[in-house]
Structure 1
Amino acid sequence: MIDWMRWHRNNPDPSGRGGRLGNISMEELMDHNKEDDVWMALNGRVYNVTPYMEYHPGGVEELMKGAGTDATDLFNQVHKWVNYETMLKRCCVGFLTSTSTTSAAANPHRSSSNPTGEIKIASTNFSSSSLYSPSQYSWCQKSDTVIISVTTHNARIVKSHHIIIDKNGLNVIMHIIINDYVFIIDIIILSPTSVVDDVDVIFKKVNVGRCWSVLGTSNDGDAWWGPFNVADLRYRKCKIVGKIQLTHDTNMFTIELPRDTRFLVPIGCHAFIQLVVDDDEIEVSCTYTGLNFELTYLQKLATKYDQVILLAAGTGLTPMIGVVRHYHRLVVRNTTMHLLSFNKTERDIILRDELGSFARKNKWFTVSHILSSPSDNWNGQTGRITKDIIMSAIKKDNLVGGELTNNQCLFCICGSKAFSNTAEGLLKEVGITDDQMYVFAD
């Protein structure tokens, strides 16, 4: 595997297409099914795996089972744990569609003379997402603005922070996250604009009064709809503008995005960060949490649950801060929150003073610190996560004879994999159901 990663990194053109991405029909994919010419589709993206054949640990025969096909199911049965997005990133040749006419369907801007326009996306093979899949995007203009609109069939599930905008000169790329899927708009617009920070995706014209005959021209991958993959991450060059030391080994950084980038991190999600060290790219904060938390739990915090218990180990505190802040902003608060923060020693506790102050000012919030290796002067709880510690945090109203009596409690868990697995197992032992717990994890 090390030999393959070295070849993959150093070869100037692993995909054989000069890095160009296109829309690939099933018919075109099926043509590449020979040992010296192998393409396969994984989660909506098509990869040229020909150069990988000699490096595959299972041999050529195993890899040929997926040659010229959508091999997603086959891959998940055998290698679901493998991070193919990184292994094959530069071997990607494009996006799988169910028709060979995608390019023509997706680029009517090139010939349109209307001052408004519409793009219909090619059909895809992601039938499970058909409930929310966008059928089109359109645009209109005023004397000073250009507005791009996307039809989602259910506007209520799209929030402001689900829309990411990057503008570099005339190139505008928008990612619209819908559940665990993404709709991508990638165009070269007709004339200069500036981004207006609004959920309606409004661009302000630099040349006010000029009437646009077309929106612009589509790039490869424009109007693409499919599953969100870690391999699709787009990195932006940012600037560190602030640094605060929280503990002896934990710092908080303030990062400034590029001027024409609009990017809000949803509650319960982590941003990926890349650092360049000795000419090698190092990835940090490599945890992605899907939007299921927001859709299933966050919107019901104030109505469904009587108590929310947050189980955090070390820097697992991070997503919990977002949950607490969100609830604090609500007008009606009928739920209580209890944060159990697990650390090794006193000096490992993150935001100890700030959390204590917040708890004193907000009666609905309680924080407890539990240390596994405390000093002799520590007066708080000690040990690792146990059933007794969990039960001690549950309100007496929800207990009868020491047993949980209802489903009014929600448990959120974040920490190391070992911590999360232990916490999840203990919760199930005391009768907590799957819909009463959420684990912030990959």
Structure 2
Amino acid sequence: MSSLSPPSLAVPSTGSATGNPRNKTALKPGRSLMDWVKLGHSGADLAGTKGTLLDVTPQELAKHSKRNDAWMALKGKVYNVTPYMEFHPGGEEELMRGAGQDATHLFNEVHKWVNFEGMLQKCLVGRLVESRPFFLKPSFLPLGRSSSKTHNATEQKNSLSVPNTNAQTVSSTRSPLVSPLTPSPLPSPKYDWFQTHTVINLAVYTRWKHMTRERVVVLKREAVVKVVCYIQDMVYVVHLELDKAVSHEFEVRVGGSVGKVDILLQKQETGVRWSRVGKTLPGHGEHLKGKDMEIEYVECTLVRREAITHNTSLLVLQVPEQTHLPVPVGYHVYLRSPSKEIVKPYTPVASALSLTSQEEPGRHIHLFIKVYSDGALTPILDALPVSSTIEVSLPQGTFSHDQLTAATTTASHLVLLAAGTGLTPMVKLMLPALRNKKNVHLLLFNKTENDIPWKQEFENLVEESSSLLKVSHVLSEGSSSWTGLRGRIDKTLLEKLLPENSQQQTTYLCLCGPTEFTKLGISLLGDLGYSSDACHAFLG
């Protein structure tokens, strides 16, 4: 992908974590998502193949790289994206970057969460192959299905065996259309199990001393247990069907110089010795890049909705019983609509803007959302009744432990530049920095006074932090009575507000907001001499 930043500030592009649908190009009238859905149901031959599916070689694919004739390969399937050009929220230029080639890598970097198979199903040309193309029967490549057989899980010690079971669990079997996994550059974690008269202990030696409970997800459904450990930018999976019954409750412990993770399960039959822990299930023992992990969903319940401003709300989601689902700082989750056709990323915020109030991680997810009347998902979320369920993914993200350490521990000053709902990743970043007695400056950009979220709560946090926190509100359309800062992000404003960067005083900066805001901010920080090591941008 081409860099969104100047050479002096090569900040990597990541998926939008704000759930802000305004990170896109303005579309012409009649080119909305619903208009595209209607066109797909009109019977028009959007693929241009008259219903015939083809085998397409890379050489043939490369011939279709023009704006009026654009094919693109995604995860082994070839689509004619020409009719989709004017409907693409990111604009035609962005879509053309993948024309005439396998764009899977580009797609995964920016739009991994998008259900492209549903979006482009009427544009399917065929599959990408290396051999000579030939015509296929229309039934050869059914969408959304795979003929691949479930791979055998690696057999482990302690009498773990490959399953031959129909146990109800979420399979992590990978489709043959998915790009090959990225090999791990880190030592592979080790798994073992132990028992006492009352407890089964599933132990993972992550070999990473910075491991915390916030980086361990546990999904338990009766006898099936899945543990996902987030180790730097890698994930390690333990997936088992237990040999005997255990209680619903479990405990997650993390500690030791090797980053040992213990999942403590209570035996239902105390005093009974297990000869084996159970059977391995698909995905057990996988150690792969987090970006290569299949997106997996759990059903969470909306337990509270609180209006924050005239068009923003706080949604509090409760995770299912027998589930530990924390979201690491700087990570996001995907929400999927009941129809499963719409998926959007959102970054959770803290349960409270307070240095003393810390909710136990893993039981609730707090989401700050802005409702757009023409949005794809937010009107659905806004209308969702309390006690309803919504599908939430396991955490995704690229914000590393080194970046978190630089932002909250190493640097003397943390500067957070946020526009609108770009505030969301900043909330969980500022709190640990303030607890570490760091100076934090939040520059929050909005249109009007009515758009400012949690104004009083931020004022209370300034007082609680003994003024270590400074909050600057910048309004582009402030009223005549507004006495604060006015305008938009620019070099003059940043020169005035940013702290001096020196050997005695180091600064770490984070940016998040609509794409144009973030791209401009990156460029301005580069002009001001900040390096990529001193910045992180949450880009859409």
TM-score, normalization by structure 2:
0.59
Q: Where do 4+ consecutive residues of structure 1 move more than 4 Å?
A: 55-58, 73-85, 91-96, 125-128, 286-292, 404-407
- Which of 434, 445, 462 is the equivalent residue of 1:342? 445
Residue 370, structure 1, aligned to residue 474, structure 2: yes
Structure 2 CA distance, aligned partners of 1:259 and 1:174? Answer: 15
Residue 129 (1) aligns with residue 158 (2)? no
Question: Aligned equivalents of 2:416 and 2:233: distance in 1?
Answer: 24
How far apart are 1:81 and its partner, in Å? 6.4
d(CA) in 2 for partners of 1:412, 1:109? 45
2-structure distance, mates of 1:82, 1:412: 19
Offset, 1:269? 1.4
Which structure ranks higher in relative contact order (CA pairs < 8 Å, sequence separation ≥ 6)? 2
| In 2: Cα distance, 1:264 partner to 1:361 partner | 26
Match of 2:174 in 1: none
- In the aligned structure 2, how far is the partner of 1:224 from the partner of 1:80? 19
Describe the shift of the 1:156–1:329 C-alpha distance in structure 2 as closer, same or farther (beyond 3 A).
same
Q: CA deviation at 1:394?
A: 2.5
- Partner of residue 331, structure 2: 269
Q: Return the alpha-carbon distance in structure 2 between the equivalents of residues 416 and 188 of structure 1.
A: 44
How far apart are residue 327 of structure 1 and its match? 2.1
CA distance in 1, matches of 2:485, 2:504: 27
Query: For the Cα contact (< 8 Å) 1:164–1:175, is it kept in 2?
Result: yes
**Corresponding residue SS for 1:232:** coil
1:114-166 deviation per Cα after TM superposition (whole angstroms, max 9, x unaligned): xxxxxxxxxxx8675232322x31111111111111233x2313221111111
Q: How many residues align?
A: 362
**Hey, what does 2:364 align to over in structure 1?**
none
Q: Is the contact between residue 434 and residue 469 of structure 2 (CA under 8 Å) also seen in structure 1?
A: no
- Shift of the alpha carbon at 1:76? 5.6
Q: What is the distance in 2 between the residues matched to 1:81 and 1:302? A: 26
- Deviation (angstroms), 1:78: 7.4
CA deviation digits over 1:395-442, x for unaligned, max 9?
Answer: 3xx27xxxx787711111111111111111000001111111111236
- In the alignment, structure 2 segments of 5+ residues that lack a partner are 1-35, 42-53, 57-73, 83-100, 118-142, 163-179, 254-261, 348-393
Whole-angstrom distance in 1 between the partners of 2:102 and 2:240:
34
CA distance in 2, matches of 1:425, 1:264: 34
Residue 454 of structure 2 corresponds to 351
Aligned residue number for residue 322 of structure 1? 428
Residues 433 and 440 in structure 2, CA contact (< 8 A), matched pair in contact too: no
Residue in 1 aligned with 2:368? none
Residues 1:254 and 2:305 aligned together: no
Return the offset for 1:291: 5.6
Counterpart amino acid of residue 151 in structure 1: Y
The structural deviation recorded for 1:90 is 3.6
Separation in 2, partners of 1:303, 1:228: 24
Please show how residues 83-94 of structure 1 align to structure 2 within 5 Å: 83=111, 86-87=115-116, 90-91=144-145
Partner of 2:415: 309
Between the aligned partners of 1:127 and 1:245, the Cα distance in structure 2 is: 42
1:302/1:238 CA distance change after superposition, 3 Å: closer
**For the Cα contact (< 8 Å) 2:183–2:288, is it kept in 1?**
no
C-alpha separation in 1, matches of 2:432 and 2:148 = 38
Q: Give, in whole Å, the separation in 1 of the partners of 2:245 and 2:289.
A: 31
1:176-191 correspondence to structure 2 within 5 Å: 176-191=229-244
Distance 1:229 1:389, change over 3 A: same
Aligned to 1:208: 270
Instruction: Name the CA shift for 1:156/1:104 in 2 (closer, same or farther; >3 Å).
Output: closer
Letter paired with 1:130: P
- Which structure has the highest helix share of the two? 1
Measured in 1, the distance between the counterparts of 2:416 and 2:474 equals: 13
One-letter amino acid of the structure 2 residue matched with residue 372 of structure 1:
S
Residues 27-426 of structure 1: matches in 2 within 5 Å?
Answer: 35=55, 49=76, 52=77, 55=79, 75=103, 83=111, 86-87=115-116, 90-91=144-145, 103=153, 105=155, 108-110=159-161, 128-134=183-189, 136-152=190-206, 154-193=207-246, 194-199=248-253, 200-229=262-291, 232-276=294-338, 279-285=339-345, 292-301=398-407, 303-330=409-436, 333=437, 335-362=438-465, 363-395=467-499, 398=500, 408-426=506-524
For 1:420 and 1:161, the matched residues in 2 are separated by 28
Kindly provide the amino acid, as one letter, of the partner of residue 158 in structure 1: M
- Tell me, in whole angstroms, the C-alpha distance in 1 between the residues paired with 2:292 and 2:308: 29
Report if the CA contact (8 A) 1:343-1:371 is conserved.
yes
Deviation at 1:218, TM superposition (A): 1.4
Note closer, same or farther for the CA distance 1:317–1:303 as it changes in structure 2 (3 Å cut).
closer
Q: Is the 8 A contact 1:341 1:367 kept in 2?
A: yes
356 and 94 in structure 1: CA distance in 2 versus 1, 3 angstrom threshold: farther
Distance 1:92 1:151, change over 3 A: farther
The residue type paired with residue 320 of structure 1 is: M
Q: Shift in Å at residue 251 of structure 1?
A: 0.3
1:214: how far off? 0.9
Aligned-residue offset at 1:351: 0.7
- Return the alpha-carbon distance in structure 1 between the equivalents of residues 182 and 341 of structure 2: 36
C-alpha displacement of 1:352? 0.8
Q: Tell me if structure 1 keeps the 8 A contact 2:220–2:226.
A: yes
Q: 1:94/1:320 Cα in 2 relative to 1: closer, same or farther (>3 Å)? A: farther
Tell me if the contact between 2:408 and 2:429 (Cα under 8 Å) persists in the aligned partners: no
CA contact (8 A) 2:249 2:322 kept: yes
1:285 & 1:302 partners in 2: Cα distance? 24
Gapped regions of structure 1 (runs ≥ 5): 7-33, 37-46, 59-72, 112-124
Relative distance call for 1:424 and 1:181 in structure 2 (3 A) is same
Displacement after TM superposition at 1:104 (Å): 5.8
Query: Which secondary structure does the structure 2 equivalent of 1:391 belong to?
Result: helix
2:376 aligns with none
Distance change >3 Å, CA 406–CA 289, structure 1 → 2: farther
Deviation string, structure 1 residues 226-249 (Cα, Å, up to 9, x no partner) = 222376122111111111110011
